[in-house]
Amino acid sequence: MADHVFEDRVGLWIVDPTRGVGRLQAIRAFGGGIIRDLFLPRTATRAHFGAVRKAGLNAHLYEAVAGLSAEAYVARVLDDVATLQPGAVDLDIELGEDAPMPAFVEAVVRGVRAVRPNLRLRLNFAPWKGFAVPAELLATDPNLYVCAQNYLGNMDELLSPVDVLADLLAHRAPPYKATVCYAAACTVLGSSGRLRTLPDLSRAHRGTIYQDDLMADTGLL
């Protein structure tokens, strides 16, 4: 179910849908059952989505830009939504350059909305991309959300979730629509430990973990 996804629930990105389905019981048990939403890649099948729902979890989709133009990305997202029928979609918008991002983001949201006006969408940004927050669209679209990642590409350093969230809020993202995408395998900033993800999520009861393979590699699953 899409209700409240991105607001007051914890989610998890799944990298390989077959491995992810094989971990459903461990995922359900993590943190006393804190994870409610699984985000599957476009390589998943309707059977994978069905298995997630049968396990009592909510099945959603994530889509990376992967070098596509805004128009091509919108077309692929809409095609995958029609095929897989997810509850919600996480739009992983990472571009090679910063300058095109605001226009790209607006074009994507408007393109999806032209066909799917009520689909729950979240814009998933790399850290410090608050300048691309579409503040006016977030203010007027009840089903549009945004999050920022608190990790770098090499997963070596955990960025403060407070700081990356503050960057979104500074660019007028509504507080109840802005969350953090936490890395499962980052070293905690200023520490040699790797377990900050769980206490942060347990305290906030919202946000998303990236991703199940990294959780398994670090002994969290």
Determine how many CB atoms are found less than 10 A away from the CB of residue 42: 18
The tally of domains found in the chain comes to: 1
Residue 4 lies in a domain: no
Residue 125 lies in a domain: yes
Asked if residues 43 and 20 have their Cβ atoms less than 8 Å apart, the reply is no
Residue 197 lies in a domain: no
Residue 194 lies in a domain: no
Q: Quick: pLDDT tens for 144-179.
A: 999 999 887 766 555 778 888 999 999 999 999 999
Determine how many CB atoms are found less than 10 A away from the CB of residue 184: 24
Residue 2 lies in a domain: no
Phi, psi of 172 (to 5 degrees): 75, 25
Q: Quick: pLDDT tens for 105-118.
A: 999 999 999 999 99
Residue 1 lies in a domain: no
Show Cβ contacts of residue 164 under 8 Å, excluding neighbours closer than 6 positions: 127, 128, 148, 149, 150, 180
Residue 86 lies in a domain: yes
CA dihedral angle for residue 125, residue 81, residue 1, residue 24, rounded to 10 degrees: -80
Residue 191 in this model has a pLDDT that exceeds 60:
no
CATH code of the domain in which 31 resides: 3.20.20.70
CA dihedral angle for residue 71, residue 98, residue 179, residue 118, rounded to 10 degrees: -20
pLDDT given at position 184:
83
Q: What is the SS3 assignment for 3?
A: coil
Which pTM does this prediction carry? 0.92
Show the domain range for 125.
10-189+204-217
Residue 112 lies in a domain: yes
pLDDT given at position 206:
86
Residue 186 in this model has a pLDDT that exceeds 60:
yes
Q: Quick: pLDDT tens for 20-68.
A: 999 999 999 988 899 999 999 999 999 999 999 999 999 999 999 999 9
